[in-house]
Amino acid sequence: MYTQGLDQKDKPAAAGQGTETPEQLEAFQARIDAEEKIEAKDWMPEAYRRTLIRQISQHAHSEIIGMQPEGNWLTRAPTLKRKAILLAKIQDEAGHGLYLYSAAETLGVSRDQMVADLLNGKAKYSSIFNYPALTWADIGTIGWLVDGAAIMNQIPLCRCSYGPYSRAMIRICKEESFHQRQGFDILVSLCNGTDKQKAMAQDALDRWWWPSLMMFGPSDKDSKHSAQSMAWKIKRFSNDELRQKFIDVTVPQAEFLGLKVPDDKLAFDESTGHYRHGEIDWQEFLDVLAGNGPCNRQRMAKRCKAHDDGAWVREAARAYATKHTAKHAA
């Protein structure tokens, strides 16, 4: 049902490919260089449109799939207050998904097509959400590291050249900052608690540290989309630059908590003012991306089931819309 009529929508744009003149491309780049925002109805190169559809829809899918590891802990939150905070956080993530799907729709792709691409495995989402949340300390660590890394990635997107995406990111970033704080606050409590609670926090950091660093994507030399995205001002900083910023900000926070970052090569370099770090296991990243992470199958199965379970809601909304239109046409 959800793939219906979608290819047609993609065709006119695809037909435009290759018909762009050097003058059009030059004028477009001049607008970007002048820091003008590109809006939905403006002319844009086909590759720019496709890059944004890919990036924004992946971002939306990540928000939606990212609700799963935390949703798993809603019934087991240790206090009513923690439960209310976690519930609000997860609802924010659903909202982020919706703003982002709407921003991508302005580029001419339908919501149905994006959802279909997620469910049939064609579209990717952030590899971090294929790791399990095993203890309550994982909920703190996800907020601290995963939302923390998301903020680092997303703040520069508030200045992205595509207007609808950049505007969606402003509100999202404000909410992500609350997410990061609620996670850190859970860890402050655990690290000031019993030895067992502190050990639980350390164990969570040991498991989430490296996957969090992978969230910034492959190293610059291996990142195939980076250079063009930087020229179009979709990206403002390279993957490695953002990863470094994240490490520099996060290591002192781990020290404040009294936790040890699981990297023996981690050291502050006085000459550069940055932390040096060990090698990231890119093979693990590629394996998870290829669908072989600890929870890939579980996450997709749950999303597909949620989509099927929601069929009656979509049907009812459609029936209502048809009735409403008929009433107003009469």
In whole angstroms, how close is the CB of 178 to Fe ion at the nearest point? 8
SS3 call for 276: strand
Do 24 and 43 contact (CB within 8 A), yes or no?
yes
* Contact call for residue 93 and Fe ion (CB under 5 A): yes
Nearer to Fe ion, 198 or 303 (CB): 303
Kindly state whether residue 49 participates in binding Fe ion, applying the rule CB under 5 A: no
Select from 59, 53, 43 the least CA-distant residue to 93. 59
Under 8 Å CB-to-CB from 52, ≥6 apart: which residues?
104, 107, 162, 165, 234
Q: How far apart are CA 127 and CA 216, in angstroms?
A: 10
Cβ proximity to Fe ion: between 63 and 117 the closer is 63
Site residues for Fe ion, window 174-203 (CB under 5 A)?
176, 179
Interface with Fe ion: number of residues (CB under 5 A): 6
Judged by CB under 5 A, does residue 59 bind Fe ion? no
Handedness of CA 202, 204, 209, 210 (dihedral sign): positive
Tell which one of 28, 147, 183, 246 touches Fe ion (CB under 5 A): 147
Piece of 18-26, 63-71, 289-297, 310-318 that binds Fe ion (CB under 5 A): 63-71
Nearest alpha-carbon partner for 69 in 27, 11, 1, 127: 127
Q: Which residues 266-295 are close enough to bind Fe ion by CB under 5 A?
A: none
Interface with Fe ion, residue 96, by CB under 5 A? yes
In angstroms, give the least distance from the CB of 82 to Fe ion. 16
Pick the closer one to Fe ion by CB: 96 or 277.
96
CA distance 313 to 330: 26
Stretch that binds Fe ion, among 85-93, 123-131, 230-238, 294-302 (CB under 5 A): 85-93
Question: Does the footprint of Fe ion cover residue 105 (CB under 5 A)?
Answer: no
Q: Nearest Cα to 278, choosing from 184, 199, 213?
A: 213
The CA-based dihedral angle spanning residues 206, 209, 211, 217, taken in that order and rounded to the nearest 10 degrees? -160
> Closest distance between Fe ion and the C-beta of residue 63, in Å?
5
Eight-state DSSP code of residue 157: G
Residue 172 CB, shortest distance to Fe ion, in Å, is 6
> Nearest approach, Cβ of 157 to Fe ion (angstroms)?
12
Residues that bind Fe ion (CB under 5 A): 63, 93, 96, 147, 176, 179
